[in-house]
Amino acid sequence: MKIVLGSDHAGFALKEEVRKHLENTGFDVQDFGTHNTESCDYNDSAKQVAEAVAAKKADRGVLICGTGIGMSIQANKTKGVRAALVHDMFSAKATRLHNDSNVLTMGGRIIGEDLAKAIVDVWLNTEFSGDARHIRRVEKIEE
């Protein structure tokens, strides 16, 4: 599975931890940056990640800014992307089962690295339920 990553300065430190974790787990990871803590706009990496996922150049995307909010708003502007802002294990699983989310966003100023890694793991390892009602709702989003 190929995963694309992105962050702004506020998400940089957590993104680095998530990247190492994904690489150690054996995923094919592409990091669109940012690559340091210098102030930058979350929009830019969000758009790169979202477009890579929408174009099926990657299977999933993970985006981290200070709150995860700007990343989720921006990523969801790209057609085909279903970005979910998640800070707990229940939502990580539920958004895969119900929404078939293909981008995960988190806030580096909100959660610590251990919780972020656990969220990423459950989000990557949970398949879409495939239930008719959830398929119908996801199709309505796509419309």
Residue 87 annotated in active site: no
67 vs 102, which CB is nearer to ligand RB5?
A: 67
In angstroms, rounded to a whole number, what is the distance separating the alpha carbons of residues 91 and 61? 16
Q: Which of 66, 96, 104, 116 binds ligand RB5 (CB under 6 A)?
A: 66
Of 19, 42, 105, 123, the one binding ligand RB5 by CB under 6 A: 42
Tokens of 49: 């990640």
Residue among 47 and 137 whose Cβ is closer to ligand RB5: 47
Total residues contacting ligand RB5 by CB under 6 A comes to 8
Decide: residue 142, CB within 10 A, 0-12 exposed, 13-18 middle, 19+ buried. exposed
Query: 65 vs 86, which CB is nearer to ligand RB5?
Result: 65
Q: Are 56 and 83 in contact (CB under 8 A)?
A: no
